[in-house]
Amino acid sequence: MTSAHFIFIPGVLFVGFVLGFILGGRAARDQQVLDQKRAAEREATRATRAARAALKAQKDAPPNDAP
């Protein structure tokens, strides 16, 4: 084993760690944005369902014929 291995192998490992850190950080940010978007869509869906349920309950309620 030559002395170049003592420089080359740690250098390659270091480059791998740096690239992994950069690409992993980017993937984590993208996942966080996607999770926030999905949460907003779920909240909008829940609000729509609640509004529809309120309208349906209003339609199904007996009329108020107070004197």
Tell me the CB-side half-sphere exposure of residue 59, using CA atoms within 13 A: 6
What's the pLDDT tens digit per position in 11-63?
999 999 999 999 999 999 999 999 999 999 999 999 999 999 888 888 877 76
Question: pTM of this prediction?
Answer: 0.62
In a domain, 66, yes or no: no
In a domain, 42, yes or no: yes
What is the number of domains present in the chain?
Answer: 1
In a domain, 52, yes or no: yes
Please provide the size of the chain in residues: 67
In a domain, 33, yes or no: yes
